[in-house]
């Protein structure tokens, strides 16, 4: 079996999920210059809502095929997360739009804590198992194993990202988003409804978060109320790695981070002669964050916000 | 690490100060006797922590219903439950908080990693401590007179697991993963020693953390070494997803775990991959204990499904209270000698301590998952014989 190839596959699947979440951070940052730390919790809520619906469907005893159940779960989670994303912006960030940036940042962290604890009250503290709905049987691929779920995650993530690029670069809404990101005041003067563009950005980012939440829960087979925290931090790192505010950067950063983490965890033990073990897996993301901030603060592809005064 | 925990710790400090103030006004020597309970009530092991809390609470409620008299005064026991988040730092903070609240004794903590640092604080304050589930041998090796546990330790459990893996499960090439906690690492080390001594080869050792959900990297490494058995030293919240991820990576080795994995939660989390997984648990299967069935009924009626350690927490609480009744005092210095002399039939097994505070003749039972349930395979250790004598 080819270990390197297997670790690479593990990393790409993980990276595809990071990229989806990173897009949410980067889109909001690109437009508002705000780091929406509650985004990770939206991912968690997406997974939890989908899980609740899926459990209800399975519990109802109606013999539905697994993929259909998963699709219904997804269809339920996306609008819930969209509404949540909209409300977060409306309630927590819009009143503070003219306030100093630090105020908005603290509000974001507060929002994250509120959502996390609300989820704990609703769904309890324990780990919930996420049922296997898509075939997860391993297939041999050039000496490594892949399963349909992994393929599905990568393909769906890629489709969504292509769709998003198309939306931002080829549609009226995309043009309005880009205009708002360059200069909200002037965009407003040119007839762009800045408030609705910002709301839509949150709504789109939250829809991506819902998809990512279900992917992550299905991939690892578990969902819990604080799953969004670490995932959010890592996706934020991915966004910074690619250049925060830059949509292509978030995709690249996500993929790279997933691969770095996977290869890092796989090879750190042998490379350091057992001095550092694979439990340092989570350290890689933050090591990357520090290195990027020190050596290339604008990220690999550069911040989009750089041209904004 | 966790934003909530930082916040929680802050509030804990504030609460600790408040409680310290209250403690001076109403010392527990009056009609109310406070007993501390510490376990992780938030985080990945919260279900286990709540299980301990409920187990202790059941004992306290039952004793209160009996209306005991200690030192000529009618007493009421009050459980002061604290959340240590399975974090050693927080463990010492809440331990100090309990000391300041003048508890008469402590049930806890759940994890070895929190129990060991906290035990110094209880020792310095002269408060006896009975851990339901801390199995790392170091806990009772510190020479603290007031430190007890009602569960066989990792030396005993690791030895049984290692020998069983080789002799009964036929393992020759073994990969080991642990979560780098005092419990997981300690158990894995003892397992490794015993498995090696029995003639198996350890083909790989990998590590994760007690908060991880992604094990694909380490499992990929383990798979490359073609083990026929994979031992995990850690808790169910990791062991469950790990079993499922093993399956999806096409690893056919059997998964073997310790008491931390032997829960209903594990079966739920592992799903179809749970079948055939073997894990040990100190003690005897509940249904085989005199009073075990009745305990299970009383517990489930009130709190639902037992996870793992509720019977042990119940036994820990009962041992403390019984010692207080026998000594006719809730003053730690007075009832501690009685606690050391404990000899009673608990719901998890016969409870008696050796001179270090370890459970005497702790039996260990091995279980296998079949059809979504843990089925007892066999019980190894002294108390099995003791149970037969009855």
Which residue is listed with tokens 């490359």?
B224
pLDDT tens-digit series, residues B363-381? 899 999 999 999 999 988 7
What average pLDDT does the segment A272-292 reach? 84
**B225 close to A (CB below 8 A):** no
- Alpha-carbon gap: B43 to the closest alpha carbon of chain A (Å): 7
Determine the structural domain holding residue A226 and report its residue range: 3-307
Res A140: pLDDT: 84
**Residue A129 to residue B240, Cβ atoms within 8 A:** yes
Asked whether the beta carbons of B149 and B134 are under 8 A apart, the reply is yes
Chain B residue whose CA is closest to A228? B2
pLDDT band at B161 (very low <50, low <70, confident <90, very high): very high
- Alpha-carbon gap: A4 to the closest alpha carbon of chain B (Å): 9
| Distance of alpha carbon A171 from alpha carbon A197, whole angstroms | 13
Cβ-Cβ contacts under 8 Å, A279 against chain B: 179-180, 207-209, 212
| Per-chain mean pLDDT for chain B | 88
**DSSP state letters, B314-363:** HHHHHHHHHHHHHHT---HHHHHHHHHT-EEE-SSSEEEB-TTSPBTT--
CATH for B154-282+364-389, among 1.20.120.140, 3.40.50.970, 3.40.640.10, 3.40.50.2300?
3.40.50.2300
- Alpha-carbon gap: A276 to the closest alpha carbon of chain B (Å): 10
Res A132: pLDDT: 84
| Distance of alpha carbon A43 from alpha carbon A214, whole angstroms | 8
pLDDT band at B13 (very low <50, low <70, confident <90, very high): very low
Helix (H/G/I), strand (E/B), else coil: B305: coil
Those of residues 246-265 in B touching chain A at CB distance below 8 A are 247-250, 265
Same topology, domains B3-152+289-352 and B154-282+364-389? Answer is yes
What average pLDDT does the segment B167-173 reach? 95
Res A267: pLDDT: 87
Task: Answer with the residue of higher pLDDT: A79 or A271.
Answer: A79
- Alpha-carbon gap: A137 to the closest alpha carbon of chain B (Å): 6
| Distance of alpha carbon A288 from alpha carbon A295, whole angstroms | 10
pLDDT band at B59 (very low <50, low <70, confident <90, very high): very high
pLDDT tens-digit series, residues B254-294? 999 999 999 988 999 998 899 999 999 888 888 887 778 89
What percent of chain B has pLDDT above 90?
71
Residue B248 has pLDDT above 90, yes or no: no
Q: Which of B50, B203, B207 to mutate to test the interface with A (most CBs of A within 10 A)?
A: B207
**Direct distance between the N- and C-terminal alpha carbons of chain A, in angstroms, rounded to an integer:** 53
Res B348: pLDDT: 83
Q: What residues does each domain of chain B span?
A: 3-152+289-352, 154-282+364-389
pLDDT tens-digit series, residues B221-235? 999 999 999 999 999
**Residue B220 to residue A147, Cβ atoms within 8 A:** no
Cβ-Cβ contacts under 8 Å, A113 against chain B: 3-4, 7
For A127, the closest of B207, B237, B249 (CB atoms) is: B237
- Whether cis (ω within 30° of 0) applies to the bond prior to A142 is no
Res B382: pLDDT: 56
Cβ-Cβ contacts under 8 Å, B207 against chain A: 269, 277-279
pLDDT band at B312 (very low <50, low <70, confident <90, very high): very high
Residue A137 has pLDDT above 90, yes or no: no
**Residue A113 to residue B4, Cβ atoms within 8 A:** yes
pLDDT tens-digit series, residues B17-45? 444 444 444 444 448 999 999 999 987 88
Helix (H/G/I), strand (E/B), else coil: A86: helix
Contacts of B19 (CB under 8 A, 6+ apart): B97, B100, B101
For A138, the closest of B179, B212, B249 (CB atoms) is: B249
pLDDT tens-digit series, residues A6-44? 999 999 999 999 999 999 999 999 998 899 999 999 999
**B68 close to A (CB below 8 A):** no
Cα four-point dihedral sign B54, B60, B63, B67? negative
For A266, the closest of B7, B220, B247 (CB atoms) is: B220
Res B54: pLDDT: 96
Token pair of B228, please? 């026929």
| Distance of alpha carbon B273 from alpha carbon B52, whole angstroms | 27
Contacts of A281 (CB under 8 A, 6+ apart): A261, A264, A265, B208, B209, B212, B214, B217
pLDDT tens-digit series, residues B62-99? 999 998 999 889 999 999 999 999 999 999 999 999 99
What is the rounded (10 degree) CA torsion for B230, B235, B237, B240? 30
Check which CATH number belongs to the domain holding A255 and give it.
1.10.3470
Tell me what percent of chain B is helix, strand and coil, each rounded to the nearest 5.
50, 20, 30
For B214, the closest of A117, A129, A220 (CB atoms) is: A220
Closest by CA to B111, choosing from B157, B151, B59, B58, is B151
CA distances from A68 to A65, A80, A134 (A): 5, 19, 9
Q: Half-sphere exposure of B181 toward its Cβ, with a 13 Å CA cutoff?
A: 28
What average pLDDT does the segment B156-166 reach? 94
Cβ-Cβ contacts under 8 Å, A10 against chain B: 216-217, 220
Residue B55 has pLDDT above 90, yes or no: yes
At B174, phi and psi to the nearest 5? Answer: -120, 130
Res B241: pLDDT: 94
- Alpha-carbon gap: A138 to the closest alpha carbon of chain B (Å): 5
Least reliable range by pLDDT among A171-185, A271-285, B139-153: A271-285
H helix intervals, B154-235: 154-167, 182-197, 216-224
- Alpha-carbon gap: A129 to the closest alpha carbon of chain B (Å): 5
Residue A206 has pLDDT above 80, yes or no: yes
| Distance of alpha carbon A22 from alpha carbon A18, whole angstroms | 6
**Residue B3 to residue A126, Cβ atoms within 8 A:** no
For B244, the closest of A124, A221, A263 (CB atoms) is: A221
For A132, the closest of B212, B213, B271 (CB atoms) is: B271
Least reliable range by pLDDT among A152-161, A197-206, A264-273: A264-273
**Residue B249 to residue A117, Cβ atoms within 8 A:** no
**Residue A129 to residue B237, Cβ atoms within 8 A:** no
Which residue is listed with tokens 């991912």?
A43
**Residue B217 to residue A220, Cβ atoms within 8 A:** no
**Residue B4 to residue A117, Cβ atoms within 8 A:** yes
* C-beta neighbour count of A25 within 10 angstroms: 27
Res A175: pLDDT: 93
pLDDT tens-digit series, residues A64-91? 888 899 999 999 999 999 999 999 999 9
Contact pairs from chain A to chain B, CB under 8 Å = 122
Which segment, A129-133, A152-156, A221-225, is predicted with the most confidence on average?
A152-156
Closest by CA to A134, choosing from A215, A211, A212, is A215
Query: How many domains, chain A?
Result: 1
What is the rounded (10 degree) CA torsion for A253, A255, A258, A263? -110
Chain A residue whose CA is closest to B251? A138
Q: Which of B202, B248, B304 to mutate to test the interface with A (most CBs of A within 10 A)?
A: B248
Q: Cα-atom radius of gyration of chain B, to the nearest Å?
A: 20
**Residue A277 to residue B180, Cβ atoms within 8 A:** yes
Where does B3-152+289-352 sit in CATH, by number?
A: 3.40.50.2300
């Amino acid at each position: 079996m080819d270990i390197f190839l297997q670790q690479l596959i593990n990393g790409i699947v993980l990276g595809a999920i990071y990229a989806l979440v990173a897009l949410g951070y980067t889109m909001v940052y690109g437009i508002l210059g705000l780091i929406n730390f509650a985004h990770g919790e939206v991912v968690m809520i997406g997974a939890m809502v989908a899980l609740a619906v899926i459990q209800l469907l399975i519990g109802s005893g109606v013999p539905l095929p697994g993929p259909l159940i998963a699709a219904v779960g997804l269809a339920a989670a996306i609008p819930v997360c969209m509404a949540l994303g909209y409300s977060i912006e409306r309630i927590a960030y819009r009143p503070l739009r003219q306030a100093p940036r630090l105020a908005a940042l603290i509000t974001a962290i507060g929002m994250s804590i509120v959502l996390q604890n609300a989820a704990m009250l609703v769904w309890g503290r324990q780990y919930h198992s996420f049922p296997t709905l898509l075939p997860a049987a391993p297939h041999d691929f050039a000496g490594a194993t892949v399963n349909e779920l992994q393929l599905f995650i990568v393909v769906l993530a890629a489709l969504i990202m292509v769709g998003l690029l198309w939306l931002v670069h080829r549609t009226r809404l995309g043009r309005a988003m880009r205009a708002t990101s360059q200069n909200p005041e002037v965009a407003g003067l040119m007839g762009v409804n800045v408030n609705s563009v910002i709301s839509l950005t949150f709504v789109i980012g939250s829809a991506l978060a819902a998809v990512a939440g279900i992917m992550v829960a299905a991939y690892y087979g578990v969902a819990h109320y604080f799953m969004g925290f670490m995932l959010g931090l890592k996706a934020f790192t991915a966004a910074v790695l690619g250049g925060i505010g830059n949509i292509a950067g978030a995709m690249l950063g996500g993929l790279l981070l997933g691969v770095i983490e996977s290869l890092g965890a796989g090879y750190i033990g042998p490379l350091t002669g057992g001095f550092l073990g694979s439990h340092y897996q989570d350290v890689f993301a933050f090591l990357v964050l520090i290195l990027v901030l020190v050596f290339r603060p604008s990220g690999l592809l550069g911040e989009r916000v750089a041209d904004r005064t | 690490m966790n934003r909530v925990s930082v916040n929680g710790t802050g509030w804990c400090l504030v609460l600790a100060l408040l409680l310290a103030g209250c403690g001076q006004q109403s010392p527990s020597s009056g009609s109310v006797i406070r007993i501390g309970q510490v376990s992780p009530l938030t985080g990945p092991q919260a279900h286990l922590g709540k299980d301990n809390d409920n187990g202790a609470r059941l004992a306290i409620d039952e004793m209160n219903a009996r209306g005991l008299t200690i030192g000529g005064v009618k007493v009421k026991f009050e459980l002061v439950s604290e959340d240590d988040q399975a974090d050693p730092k927080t463990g010492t903070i809440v331990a100090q908080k309990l000391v300041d609240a003048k508890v008469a004794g402590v049930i806890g903590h759940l994890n070895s990693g929190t129990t060991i640092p906290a035990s110094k604080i209880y020792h310095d304050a002269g408060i006896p401590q009975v851990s339901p589930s801390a199995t790392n041998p170091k806990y009772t090796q510190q020479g603290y007179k007031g430190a007890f546990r009602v569960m066989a330790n990792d030396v005993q459990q690791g030895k049984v697991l290692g020998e069983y893996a080789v002799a009964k499960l036929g393992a020759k090439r073994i990969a080991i993963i642990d979560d780098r906690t005092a419990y997981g690492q300690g158990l894995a080390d003892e397992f490794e020693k015993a498995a090696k001594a029995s003639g198996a080869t350890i083909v790989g050792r990998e590590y994760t953390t007690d908060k991880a959900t992604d094990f694909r990297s380490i499992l990929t490494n383990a798979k490359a070494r073609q083990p026929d058995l994979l031992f995990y030293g850690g808790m169910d919240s990791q062991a469950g997803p790990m079993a499922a991820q093993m399956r999806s990576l096409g690893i056919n080795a059997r998964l073997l775990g310790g008491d931390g994995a032997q829960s209903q939660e594990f079966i739920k989390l592992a799903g179809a991959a749970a079948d055939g997984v073997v894990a040990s648990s100190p003690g005897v299967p509940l249904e085989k204990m005199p009073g075990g069935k009745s305990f299970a009924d009383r517990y489930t009626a009130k709190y639902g499904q037992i996870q793992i350690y509720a019977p042990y927490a119940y036994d820990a609480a009962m041992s403390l209270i019984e010692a207080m009744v026998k000594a006719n005092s809730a003053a730690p210095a007075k009832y501690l000698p009685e606690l050391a002399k404990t000899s009673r039939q608990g719901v998890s097994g016969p409870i008696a301590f050796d001179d270090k505070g370890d459970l005497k003749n702790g039996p260990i039972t091995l279980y296998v998952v079949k059809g979504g349930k843990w089925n007892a395979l066999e019980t190894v250790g002294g108390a099995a014989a003791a149970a037969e004598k009855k």
